[in-house]
Every structure is written in C-alpha cells, then in structure tokens.
C-alpha cells in the first residue's frame, strides 16, 4: 500500500502544453478512477505516475517519497493495459512468472507463487496454454495475475476492459475491485466509461483538457457537479440544460423560451444574471397542467424495454425525460412536467460553474 501525491504536475511536448498544474492526493488503499473524454490526458497522467513518461514540472510522490527521478521498476507500480501486452510465445504460467524470473527468484518458489496467483484469478486450468488460445477475458486475467504476482504497492490500470464485451466487462470490473480489496494495494484506474467509473471508484477524478475539473465520491459528483462540463459528462442520458436569466426578484428564473421557473429564492445569483438550469432526465416526471412547473412539446420517444426516453422540446431546446411509464403521445403534443425542488442545478451561464444555492447552503449548515 502507498499513498500517491501529485503536486502541480505539468507536461509539455515541445511547445504544446497537454497538462497544467494537476494536483491530486490518492490515499493508501484507495481505488481512484480517472474519468474523461479521449485526449484529456488520462493515460499521460497514469504513465507519469508509473515513470513511463517524464514530468515537465511539479512532483510525484509514492509512499511519501518523491519519485520524479526514479526508474519505472523502482516505483513499486504494476500497470495493466487495454491490449494486455502478453508475450505470445510464452505459456500463461511463464507470462505470469516472467517478472519473478527476471528478478532471479528460484524456480520452486516461483512456481509456487504462480500457482497461488493463478488460482486467485481463476486461471489454474489454463497455465499451460499460450495467450493465443485464450479468450479476451482470460487474457485480461493473465495481465492481472502478472501485475498481482509482483505484489505492487500501486496498481495502475489504463482502460483494461475496453476490449471486452459488455457482459465480461461488468464481470471483470467486479473481479478487479475484489482483487484490489484482497491485495490491499492502492489503485488508479483510467477509463472514459462513466458507468465503469461510477461503479468502481471510491473517488472519481473528472479530467478536462489536461486539468482536473472535480474530485469526489461518485455520489458527490452526481449530486453536486461542480460545472456544466462535469454535469454533462456524468449521468445517462445526459443532464438537460435550459438557458435563462435570473428574474428581477431572484425567486424565479426566466428561461429563454419565455417560461418562468420558481426557484423559491434558492439561487445565490444577482437579478439578470445568465444561468443554465440543469435537470436530470430521471428527475423529471409528467404532471397534469395544474401541477406542472414547466411545459414542453413531445418530439419522439426511444424504447428501452424497461421504460422510455421521452424527447421533448422547449421551443428549440431539447429536453429528455426517462420513465418506466409507457405513455401514448402524439408529436407536438404539449405536456406538463414537474420535479422536486432539490433536482434543480444552477450553473453560471458564462463560466459554467455551479452557483451556490441558499437551499443547499441551508442543508449544509444544518449538517455542520
């Protein structure tokens, strides 16, 4: 086990800065997932922790010791990649034990360790096979075993499940979490799949273009996204955003389509301020006209089996609502919508940052 401290780390390639002042403290034994779209710098950050990529500025410490100048093998990290990187000509047993062989461990001891490790990931019966004779999931297990056998302080995973089919991904996800819990190492897991991130992480790190947008538990990030970027990235279907302005008395927001929404004095924002109102599709429900807080026109519906995604419009602004209910609806029909007051997220229309709301402040002070 080891904590990892990333302090103001930057990375430039030539004149291009791809990472800027990234700071992150990962606790001993924690499972942290780095989540973000393609090209935001997830792999680069992981490779800098592993020592496979030099850092341009800042410090990285593992177990309290700055490792900037240490070789990858001196850092106590084991990395698991998407493409497994197994040796095709070696058997499963040889692949798993390779690092121990290189380090000079006597054969008998090595074989015993290979056996125990293979058992822990369910590979006992495949030890004599070559990687080419394994399924994708089994190859992924070999890659895991090869990492586990080195008893690393830190596991670094770079999208290790991307090549697997949906069912196997879920299964391997649980397996990885189980191994993390049993081995007791610190894990950093990179993915662009929000479901994978939400289910695996003790804490999520949301990255955007080489910077960290938010760090928090999956629940914190879902319930209180710090920005429109985070709010739009986490949640499926994505959060709806309705542009508007805070009204003259600050109790209401006037949406761009002319409707006005009751905020009951919740917004800590000045009259006239541009805002984006965030509403998650799963927090919206249909309501009869007299109870409706918003009105929208029905556009089309997508069948999910378990329910539907209803696509609506407020003039030109799209709005989606998910519901287990299967309502017969006609294109263009006006429907009433309602939602709980705490389902409303308010973001600054210019900076995209979350605006503090008095209601949430009241909740926080009640808890303090």
Ligand X SMILES: Nc1ncnc2c1ncn2[C@@H]1O[C@H](COP(=O)(O)OP(=O)(O)OP(=O)(O)O)[C@@H](O)[C@H]1O
Q: Smaller CB distance to ligand X: residue 43 or 273?
A: 43
Q: Which stretch binds Mg ion (CB under 5 A): 35-43, 73-81, 121-129, 305-313?
A: 35-43
Q: Which of 43, 82, 138, 322 binds Mg ion (CB under 5 A)?
A: 43
Binding mask 217-256 for ligand X (x = CB under 6 A): ----------------------------------------
> Using only C-alpha atoms, what is the Rg of the chain?
25
- Compute the least distance from the CB of residue 39 to ligand X, in Å: 4
- Compute the least distance from the CB of residue 164 to ligand X, in Å: 16
H/E segment holding residue 289: none
Give the span between the Cα atoms of 106 and 93, in whole angstroms. 15
Binding mask 186-205 for Mg ion (x = CB under 5 A): --------------------
Dihedral angle sign, alpha carbons of residues 256, 340, 322, 190: positive
Q: Smaller CB distance to ligand X: residue 93 or 161?
A: 161
Question: 135-194: which residues touch ligand X (CB under 6 A)?
Answer: 192
Give the span between the Cα atoms of 57 and 53, in whole angstroms. 12
Q: Does 82 bind ligand X (CB under 6 A)?
A: no
Helix 136-148 × helix 166-183 angle, to 10° = 10
Phi and psi dihedrals of 264, rounded to 5?
Answer: 45, 45
- Compute the least distance from the CB of residue 161 to Mg ion, in Å: 13
Q: Does 18 bind ligand X (CB under 6 A)?
A: yes
- Compute the least distance from the CB of residue 175 to ligand X, in Å: 22
Give the span between the Cα atoms of 360 and 178, in whole angstroms. 36
Give the span between the Cα atoms of 268 and 358, in whole angstroms. 6
Phi and psi dihedrals of 81, rounded to 5?
Answer: -105, 170
Q: Structure tokens of 176?
A: 């990885």
Q: Does 87 bind ligand X (CB under 6 A)?
A: no
Q: How many residues bind ligand X (CB under 6 A)?
A: 11
Q: Which of 9, 26, 43, 196 binds ligand X (CB under 6 A)?
A: 43
Q: Which of 15, 38, 64, 305 binds ligand X (CB under 6 A)?
A: 38
Q: Does 82 bind Mg ion (CB under 5 A)?
A: no
Q: Does 278 bind ligand X (CB under 6 A)?
A: no
Residue 31 β-bridge partners = 187
- Compute the least distance from the CB of residue 145 to Mg ion, in Å: 23
Q: Does 32 bind ligand X (CB under 6 A)?
A: no
Closest CA to 234 of 30, 14, 11, 37: 37
Q: Write the CA distances from 181 to 156, 177, 327, 337, integer angstroms.
A: 15, 6, 45, 44
H/E segment holding residue 303: strand 294-303
Q: Which of 8, 39, 326, 351 binds ligand X (CB under 6 A)?
A: 39
71, with CB counted inside 10 A (0-12, 13-18, 19+), is exposed
Q: Smaller CB distance to ligand X: residue 18 or 287?
A: 18
Positions in the binding site for ligand X (CB under 6 A) = 13, 18, 36, 38-44, 192
């Amino acid at each position: 086990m080891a904590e990892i401290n990333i302090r103001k780390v930057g990375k430039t390639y030539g004149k291009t800065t791809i990472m800027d002042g990234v700071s992150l403290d990962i606790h001993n034994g924690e499972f942290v997932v780095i989540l973000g779209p393609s090209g935001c710098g997830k792999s680069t950050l992981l490779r800098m922790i592993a020592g496979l990529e030099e850092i341009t500025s800042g410090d990285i410490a593992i177990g309290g010791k700055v490792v900037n100048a240490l070789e990858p093998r001196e850092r106590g990290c084991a990395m698991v990649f998407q493409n497994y990187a197994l040796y095709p000509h070696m058997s499963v047993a040889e692949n798993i034990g390779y690092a121990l062989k290189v380090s000079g461990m006597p054969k008998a001891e090595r074989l015993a360790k290979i056996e125990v490790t293979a058992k822990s990931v369910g590979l006992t019966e495949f030890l004599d096979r070559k990687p080419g004779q394994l399924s994708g999931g089994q190859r992924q297990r070999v890659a895991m075993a090869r990492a586990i056998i080195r008893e690393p302080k830190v596991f670094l995973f770079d999208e290790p499940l991307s090549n697997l089919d949906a069912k196997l991904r879920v299964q391997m996800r649980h397996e990885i979490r189980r191994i993390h819990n049993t081995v007791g190492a610190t894990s950093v897991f990179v993915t662009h799949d929000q479901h994978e991130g939400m289910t695996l992480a003790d804490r999520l790190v949301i990255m955007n273009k080489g910077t960290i947008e938010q760090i928090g538990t999956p629940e914190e990030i879902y319930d209180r996204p710090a920005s429109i970027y985070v709010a739009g990235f986490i949640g499926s279907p994505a959060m709806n955003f309705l542009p508007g302005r805070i009204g003259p008395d600050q109790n209401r927001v006037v949406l761009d389509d002319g409707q006005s929404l009751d905020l009951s004095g919740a917004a800590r924002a000045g009259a006239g301020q541009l805002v984006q109102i965030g509403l998650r599709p799963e927090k919206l429900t249909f309501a009869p006209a007299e109870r409706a807080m918003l009105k929208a026109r029905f556009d089309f519906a997508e069948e999910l089996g378990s329910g539907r995604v209803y696509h609506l419009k407020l003039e030109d602004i799209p709005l989606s609502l998910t519901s287990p209910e299967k309502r017969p609806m006609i294109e263009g029909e006006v429907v009433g919508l309602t939602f709980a007051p705490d389902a409303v997220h308010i973001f600054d229309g210019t900076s995209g940052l979350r605006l503090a709301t008095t209601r949430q402040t009241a909740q926080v002070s009640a808890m303090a």
